[in-house]
Every structure is written in C-alpha cells, then in structure tokens.
Structure 1
Amino acid sequence: MTLLEVKGLNSYYGDSHILFDVGLRVEKNEVVALLGRNGAGKSTTLKSLMGVVTPRSGSVVLDGQQLAGRKSHAIARAGMQLVHEERRIFGSLNVEENLVLAGLTAPDRWPLARVYEMFPRLKERRTSRGTDLSGGEQQMLAIGRALMRSPKIVLLDEPFEGLAPVIVHDLMQACRDLADAGQTIVLVEQNLAATLQLAKRVYFINNGHMAHESSAAELRCRPDILQKYLGV
C-alpha cells in the first residue's frame, strides 16, 4: 500500500530552480533512502515535502491527503514529521519538556515511557537542558520528539552526521527497531553502509532531478551504480 506519493515536484530558492519534477513513492512500513552528492537537492526534497520550502508545483499525497502547498503545521497534523539536519531542539527546555511540548497537539501521541525505552540515555538526561546535551543526545531527542506525535512517516535528514561511531551504532539500532515495528521512514544520509542496512529501496537525485531507483540489495552488489551517482 502506497503511503506517500510525490509527483512533479518543482521547488525554488528565490529565482533558483532547485528541484525539477521530482517524483517518488513510499510504501507503508517501508524505509526508503534518498542519496546523491552534496548539493544535489536531497534536503530540499525533504523540506519541500514538509512545507518548510513551498513547492511551486507538484503533488504530495500522504495517506490520501494532498499536502502540497500546505503550511508545515498542517502537514505535521496530517502525520508527517521532519527531523532536521540541525536538530532544532529547544535549548532552554530540558529533555522531558522538549518531548512533552512536541506531543501537546498530537491527536495520538506516544507515551514518554516508550521514547525512554527506545532511548534510555534520554531518560537518564531528562532534566538536562537541550544546550547541555551532546550532539548524539540532541539527535536522540530530535528523533524522540518527532516520534512523540506518532507520525505516519518520519523524514530523517542526515541523522548520523558528525557523530561518534558508538552513537551512530545506537541510533542505527533505534532506527532498525522503528523499522521493524512498522514505522515508515524516508532517510537522507551520507553514511552509505548505514543507509544500505536500513533502507529497502533507494532513489538517487542528481542536480535536482530523480536519476535512478534501485533496491538496496541490488546496490550492495552493483558498485558501478554507486560510483555513477555518488562518485567524485
């Protein structure tokens, strides 16, 4: 069952045309990755889906609802959550306050205990302010905050970037547990090994155009495809 279907998405920054007729689909309970070189349009795609960037044209249908052109808060209410690359947690609030605030307007929110079960470190740090957390802890909080709203689909933008390998391992396990539990995820990530472990299918974007679609299984034995779209 297709949960998210995107067709003909065109997005701009000012007069600069960034995304050209981008299209993709994500099945329910599927993990899909979006790969490409730096500046290819990966983050802009996620921001366009979430309404952070308003597409000039195109269709974004989530679970039967047309979302293109809506404001971000309306898209969030429809069941989509974006975990930004820069995390955007509230530094003056503690961990628990960040989580509770995220769930306030959610019609079907996760209990705090469920987030703490997924990220035990957050439970240990629940009274610590956002500014006092490490980068890895902030990323856990950013993901946990998105999950508080019990989203239909989570968009993860570079969740492992700049983190120590041990933290990446813990976050990978959390994402794998989410996927195993049926959470639908769209992942943008430079860590290719992690991406191919998590994703079922992969889209390659090149200069704002969708260039190729492949299964993760195929990519593990086709380095030529990776070289073509990711090689320098």
Structure 2
Amino acid sequence: MSLLEARSLNTYYGDSHILFDVSLRVERNEVVALLGRNGAGKSTTLKSLMGVVRPRSGSVIFDDADVTGKPSHAIALAGMQLVHEERRIFGSLNVEENLVLAGLTAQKKWPLDRIYEMFPRLKERRTSRGTDLSGGEQQMLAIARALIRDPKIVLLDEPFEGLAPVIVHDLMQACRNLAAAGQTIVLVEQNLAATLALAQRVYVINNGHVVHEAPAGEIKQQPEILQRYLGV
C-alpha cells in the first residue's frame, strides 16, 4: 500500500472550485513532484493532504489510515509535515528555540546535533532570532522544524523560491541527502531543473486537474508536455 494516497479530491475556497477529482499516490521512500503554472492548484493540493484546507469530497489515506477531514495537528501527529511557502517560523524566538518548540509534541524526534549536521548554517546562527535570519536561513529553519519531528513524509511548498543560487544549491544538497536516507518527500517547486533532479516521479497539475503523471526522466524527454502546461 502507498504511504500516501489522495482519491478524487475536490477542494473549494468559498464557492470557488479549485481542485477537481485530484488523485495521486506517494510510495514510501519516494520523492514526488507536483508541477504546474502559478495558480494551477499545487499548493492547495498540499494543504488538502495536510488538512489545512478540508476537501469537500474525496479521501486522503496516510500510512494505511483514513485521515480525511482530520485537523492538521492530528495529521502532523500521524507523521506528515507541511513546510509552507511563507515558512511560518517564530520571528521572536531564536533558531534553537524554534527547533525545540517544534519537537515538543513529537512522538520521536531528531537530536539537535543531527539537524545541525544537515544545516551547519543553523548551528552558527542558533542564538539568532528568526527575524534576524536571511530568507535562505529562514527556509532552512522551516525545513529543519519539520524534520526534527522525524516525519514519515514531508510536503515542501516552493522551498527554493526567491533564494540566491548558492542557498538553493545548499538546500538541494540537503534534500538529496534526505532522499538518499529514505525520507519520503512531496515537492512543489517552480525551479524545474532542481525539481527534476530531485524527483523520481512527477504529477502535472493544470487548472486544478491532474493532467499527466510520469517518471521524472520521462518528463525531461517530453518538451511538448513542459511547453503545454509549464510554458518552458
């Protein structure tokens, strides 16, 4: 059985129908990417999986349990973590306080040394407040807060957006190391080269519909798909 499966999700914001019968699956130890233009429904898909937005119909099966309609904190306790596009770190707390707070309710958590080994820059900045961090450092902290809870799956929403190339390189390496260690990841990202380098399998979303699904290597060989749905 897949670690995560969405079945015919229909999600609305008020009266606006955003996701139309979205179905996808993520196997254990797999990196899956969601590709599509801005506004295609990628972030809404992640929020629907996490329970941040409640689908009006359809179901979400996570680790053999039906989590449809459960609050996001219950889904987090079950082992899913969403790193939001806007990061949502606590600006008034320092790096280490952010990490310790994130781990308080975890059933099993990473030691701080493991986090600092993956993100040496956070170790250097561990006494700095969130508001004093650069955008790249804030993104590292947002990902680290998810990882400290030893999640079964991490949902990353635009982790490389607006960051300097050197920071993207460091985050890419961290994601590669995670994948090599068997971490299951769902990635939403506009950086196509980075996404296809990390993902094993890709779903293309267009206007709230899943329009294509294929191995990442196959997508690279289909420029007509990239042109039609991504404009590249």
TM-score, with normalisation over the residues of structure 2?
A: 0.99
Aligned to 1:230: 230
Secondary structure of 1:2's counterpart equals coil
Question: 2-side partners of 1:203 and 1:221: how far apart?
Answer: 15
Aligned to 2:115: 115
Q: Could you give the per-residue CA deviations for residues 42-94 of structure 1, whole angstroms, max 9, x where no partner exists?
A: 00000111111111111111110111100010000011000000000000000
Aligned to 1:91: 91
Question: 1-side partners of 2:125 and 2:159: how far apart?
Answer: 20
Q: Could you give the per-residue CA deviations for residues 119-156 of structure 1, whole angstroms, max 9, x where no partner exists?
A: 00000000000000000000000000000110000000
Identity %: 82
AA matched with 1:78: A
* 1:161-176 to 2 correspondences below 5 Å: 161-176=161-176
Secondary structure of 1:44's counterpart equals helix
Aligned to 2:8: 8
Aligned to 1:209: 209
Aligned to 1:157: 157
Question: 2-side partners of 1:156 and 1:17: how far apart?
Answer: 23
Q: How many residues align?
A: 232
* 1:56-205 to 2 correspondences below 5 Å: 56-205=56-205
TM-score, with normalisation over the residues of structure 1?
A: 0.99
Question: 2-side partners of 1:26 and 1:88: how far apart?
Answer: 25
AA matched with 1:197: A
Q: Which runs of 5+ in 2 are unaligned?
A: none
Q: How many Å apart are 1:229 and its aligned residue?
A: 1.2
Aligned to 2:23: 23
Q: How many Å apart are 1:231 and its aligned residue?
A: 1.3
Question: 1-side partners of 2:128 and 2:37: how far apart?
Answer: 36
Q: How many Å apart are 1:221 and its aligned residue?
A: 1.8
Secondary structure of 1:210's counterpart equals strand
* Root mean square deviation, CA, Å: 0.8
AA matched with 1:87: R
Question: 2-side partners of 1:44 and 1:148: how far apart?
Answer: 24
Q: Which runs of 5+ in 1 are unaligned?
A: none
Q: How many Å apart are 1:220 and its aligned residue?
A: 1.7
Q: Could you give the per-residue CA deviations for residues 158-194 of structure 1, whole angstroms, max 9, x where no partner exists?
A: 0000000000000000000000000000000000000
Q: How many Å apart are 1:118 and its aligned residue?
A: 0.2
Aligned to 2:218: 218
Question: 2-side partners of 1:189 and 1:74: how far apart?
Answer: 26
Secondary structure of 2:32's counterpart equals strand
